[in-house]
Chains A and B, each alone.
Chain A
């Protein structure tokens, strides 16, 4: 009779305490989690739920003594990890337990070659010779499907793409065939097509090696794509766990239900009858190239074309989505139409006036009619100004009576569902979602005809994202606003946009009503994008009605 092997990882009543003055006493409270060999367990939660600290606790890499494990057991292959010396933990790290991090850009040392960094793991844990190590590293690069492993071996991280960097990171963590792989949001920073490739790669290698994987993510689409089992964390407490099917399709706990209910379904709004509303924003033949850094004497300046020959129309009351991956030029479009960036060619007509030909004085007047909402609500609000002043600043600059502008600002706060009592607070006193509401109020203060929103919800948690999207949609309908909505997230686009344009390398490859493009994509790039959406086969159950 064979004894069943112990699980790869067994967390029992794990408790991590936070320093005094934190928003709660424990980052994790009594977490139970078991990962068997060959299993991918997704740990899901919003920011601040304690999911990354869980990874730190297993690796023995918590920022002690402020944050430390104060209770419970961490058993790896049946062996208790708590109380192990630093030297013992170092032997495990990188060899038996390895980690894949979120940001492939910053997780690799910029001053060392890819080869060196993979080699380091082997140097630290094995007695292999230099030649053996190099052969092993090259073999790993091959296994993670990096084209030309030999040249990647000698490349510095900045010389390869983001997706390739994440492949290198995976090669590095798997080079010693660890029994447990902890992946902390490994695909969050990647484009959707790259994300799918990386998810497939993790799955493929994990099946070959039979390792257990703890996969930390906030994205239910990714969960649907990769998980065998799911555990949902809410403010340090495990609220629900089970098989992927059970949790995703029949969630029990109200928090899980709310989270899943907030995931935008991939069903676009129905096609509206061809609108005869007036065109408020019209771009014609827009072109923008960036001159790359070049030498005075070397004579070759490589120009990068960010946008080439872009034409679009935005009608009143309509939402036009601009979707594409990084480098597609979608952010450049948003900067050109607001003339935050000078364009090389073409015209942008705002209500019939050419914005790009306007003199500085005319431009200042026109700016009132086109306002922006930015991606990072923290970085785009001046931290030293009170919220009321941030909102009233625009109207005051345009000649409004300061006192009245401040009164109006308070009304706007109500409009974006914030308390007018918060008017005298500073941006850092608000959460991410609230800050984005302030950003929207700031844009609305000018009573613009057009709002250009550049990834306004991509920095937000899914439940907050849903609220902000709902608010945007409501305001658009109530104020008859026209929205130019730039996003990389096709789920978000599906939820909000009437029409979308799909951009690739500075060009529109496809455009049309969202429902039509989603149902029947014509261009291969659009088809690829749509088929890469994580969890595209999973339709979040409709739970909105019964959310507590």
Chain B
């Protein structure tokens, strides 16, 4: 279908307006949940200092506004957030926005790479499995998919690390670039890619199984539909049926899953980033929880909420592109 500009703009605007209350609710909910958890930034700071007297702790609390009632704190936070002011990270001694921006690139790279690989490999393998349903090939693909799906990501990560870094020495153990190597240009790019290979593999193998299973089922369902029979009756060969009639229709549910899964992949990246010491949002989230760095944590959650909203919007656009029956309204 052709997308004329005005309808799509109205559609985007409507989606944006719908997203605002969602994000606000997420932020309020997270704020309150985090306040319920015992301990705050001051506790963590004082713990790091090795203890302090009550008066000093009270002064610190007053300075950070932590002595105010929770509703006042929430109101202040939300007002600042409205102007995209995420506050100050007491752990990193930097504005939260700066900390986040430093880390965002790594996480986006990891997620984009993992999801593209999982999605592409999933639909290709799923389609192959469906066309050879119940054969040895299908069984092999399905079993492998299930094995990867059932393997915990930390175990998979450690095994990859053990084989490719420790035993074979082919790939770096962790981090996003070789420290103190100061590569430039393509050398730098290659360095980053080498660092991302294992984390991406670990993350994508797990999500591969979802796309594979769904695509297999979807292709098998579509292949039985009347219009595929019609195409066959027209004299089309099997390969053409797949490329021209089955694929696009079978992709629809898989694309829906892609949008839904983006947020879980974001969660999965916490584990993988922490294991491979990748300086991304996932690792930052983990550290912020440990260090009670409330502002940074809230910033990460805000960013994730925005990313998920944007990705779902893009998925819907993609869906409308793929399915001629859907009109954006």
Name the B residues within 8 Å of A110 (CB-CB).
227, 249, 323-325
Q: Is A108 an interface residue (CB 8 A)?
A: yes
Known contacts: A101-B226, A106-B225, A109-B227. The answer to whether A93 contacts B329 by CB under 8 A is no
Contacting A99 at CB < 8 Å: which of B11, B233, B249, B322? B233
Query: Are A106's CB and B329's CB within 8 A?
Result: no
A79 to chain B, nearest CB (A): 17
Name the B residues within 8 Å of A107 (CB-CB).
226-227, 229-230
Contacting B229 at CB < 8 Å: which of A91, A101, A121? A101
Q: Which residues 47-96 of A sit at the B interface, judged by CB distance below 8 A?
A: 59, 61, 90-95
**A59 vs B325: C-alpha distance in the bound complex, in angstroms?**
31
Q: Is A156 an interface residue (CB 8 A)?
A: yes
Q: Is B21 an interface residue (CB 8 A)?
A: no
- Bits for B17-36, please: 1 = Cβ < 8 Å to A, else 0: 11000000000000000000
Q: Is A111 an interface residue (CB 8 A)?
A: yes
Name the B residues within 8 Å of A106 (CB-CB).
225-227
Stretch at the interface among B213-221, B234-242, B291-299: B234-242
Q: Is A340 an interface residue (CB 8 A)?
A: no
Query: Are A90's CB and B227's CB within 8 A?
Result: no
Q: Is B80 an interface residue (CB 8 A)?
A: no
17 more contacts with CB within 8 A, not counting A93-B233, A297-B10, are A59-B233, A61-B232, A90-B237, A92-B235, A99-B230, A101-B226, A107-B230, A108-B230, A109-B227, A110-B249, A110-B323, A111-B249, A120-B236, A125-B235, A295-B329, A297-B13, A298-B10
Contacting A295 at CB < 8 Å: which of B10, B230, B235, B244? B10
Task: List 6 A-B pairs, minimum CB-CB distance, nearest first.
Answer: A94-B234, A94-B235, A93-B235, A106-B226, A109-B227, A99-B233
- Bits for A109-120, please: 1 = Cβ < 8 Å to B, else 0: 111100000001
- Bits for B30-62, please: 1 = Cβ < 8 Å to A, else 0: 000000000000000000000000000000000
**A121 vs B240: C-alpha distance in the bound complex, in angstroms?**
12
B6 to chain A, nearest CB (A): 10
Q: Is B194 an interface residue (CB 8 A)?
A: no
Chain A interface size range: 20 to 34
Which A residues have a C-beta under 8 Å from some C-beta of B?
A: 59, 61, 90-95, 98-99, 101, 103, 106-112, 120-121, 124-125, 156, 158, 169, 172, 293-298
B9 to chain A, nearest CB (A): 10
- Bits for B235-255, please: 1 = Cβ < 8 Å to A, else 0: 111000000110011000000
23 A-B pairs in the complex with CB atoms less than 8 angstroms apart: A59-B233, A93-B235, A94-B233, A98-B233, A101-B229, A101-B230, A107-B229, A107-B230, A109-B227, A109-B231, A111-B249, A111-B322, A111-B324, A112-B244, A120-B234, A156-B324, A158-B324, A293-B329, A294-B329, A295-B10, A295-B11, A295-B329, A297-B10
Residue picked from A91, A106, A111, A156, most chain B C-beta under 10 Å: A111
Contacting B235 at CB < 8 Å: which of A121, A294, A297? A121
Contacting A124 at CB < 8 Å: which of B10, B13, B235? B235
- Bits for B114-153, please: 1 = Cβ < 8 Å to A, else 0: 0000000000000000000000000000000000000000
Contacting A158 at CB < 8 Å: which of B17, B229, B325? B325
**A46 vs B135: C-alpha distance in the bound complex, in angstroms?**
36
Query: Are B324's CB and A124's CB within 8 A?
Result: no
**A90 vs B137: C-alpha distance in the bound complex, in angstroms?**
27
Query: Are B325's CB and A295's CB within 8 A?
Result: no
Name the B residues within 8 Å of A109 (CB-CB).
227, 230-231, 245, 249
Name the B residues within 8 Å of A121 (CB-CB).
234-235
Query: Are A108's CB and B235's CB within 8 A?
Result: no
**A293 vs B10: C-alpha distance in the bound complex, in angstroms?**
16
A84 to chain B, nearest CB (A): 13
**A109 vs B249: C-alpha distance in the bound complex, in angstroms?**
9
B10 to chain A, nearest CB (A): 6
Known contacts: A120-B234, A172-B234. The answer to whether A108 contacts B227 by CB under 8 A is yes
**Chain B residue with Cβ nearest A116:** B244
**A98 vs B233: C-alpha distance in the bound complex, in angstroms?**
7
Q: Is B188 an interface residue (CB 8 A)?
A: no
**Chain B residue with Cβ nearest A98:** B233
**A92 vs B233: C-alpha distance in the bound complex, in angstroms?**
9
**Chain A residue with Cβ nearest B18:** A296
**A94 vs B325: C-alpha distance in the bound complex, in angstroms?**
27
**A121 vs B249: C-alpha distance in the bound complex, in angstroms?**
20
Query: Are B235's CB and A111's CB within 8 A?
Result: no
Q: Is B14 an interface residue (CB 8 A)?
A: yes
Name the A residues within 8 Å of B225 (CB-CB).
106
The majority secondary structure among interface residues of chain A is: loop
Name the A residues within 8 Å of B14 (CB-CB).
295-297
Query: Are A124's CB and B236's CB within 8 A?
Result: yes
Contacting A61 at CB < 8 Å: which of B17, B229, B322, B325? B229
A492 to chain B, nearest CB (A): 27
Q: Which residues 196-234 of B sit at the A interface, judged by CB distance below 8 A?
A: 225-227, 229-234
Name the A residues within 8 Å of B248 (CB-CB).
111
Known contacts: A101-B226, A101-B230. The answer to whether A95 contacts B235 by CB under 8 A is yes
**A91 vs B234: C-alpha distance in the bound complex, in angstroms?**
9
Contacting A93 at CB < 8 Å: which of B17, B234, B245, B324? B234
A522 to chain B, nearest CB (A): 40
**A61 vs B230: C-alpha distance in the bound complex, in angstroms?**
11
**A332 vs B272: C-alpha distance in the bound complex, in angstroms?**
55
**Chain A residue with Cβ nearest B249:** A111
**Chain B residue with Cβ nearest A125:** B235
B248 to chain A, nearest CB (A): 5
Name the A residues within 8 Å of B323 (CB-CB).
110-111
B196 to chain A, nearest CB (A): 35
Name the B residues within 8 Å of A111 (CB-CB).
248-249, 322-324
**A110 vs B237: C-alpha distance in the bound complex, in angstroms?**
20
Name the A residues within 8 Å of B231 (CB-CB).
109, 120
Name the B residues within 8 Å of A112 (CB-CB).
244-245
Name the A residues within 8 Å of B329 (CB-CB).
293-295, 298
**A108 vs B233: C-alpha distance in the bound complex, in angstroms?**
12
**Chain A residue with Cβ nearest B230:** A107
Name the A residues within 8 Å of B18 (CB-CB).
296
Name the A residues within 8 Å of B249 (CB-CB).
109-111
**Chain A residue with Cβ nearest B227:** A109
Name the A residues within 8 Å of B233 (CB-CB).
59, 61, 93-94, 98-99, 101
**Chain B residue with Cβ nearest A155:** B324
**A109 vs B240: C-alpha distance in the bound complex, in angstroms?**
14
**A112 vs B1: C-alpha distance in the bound complex, in angstroms?**
10
Query: Are A90's CB and B245's CB within 8 A?
Result: no
**A124 vs B234: C-alpha distance in the bound complex, in angstroms?**
8
Q: Which residues 67-120 of B sit at the A interface, judged by CB distance below 8 A?
A: none
A291 to chain B, nearest CB (A): 13
B106 to chain A, nearest CB (A): 37
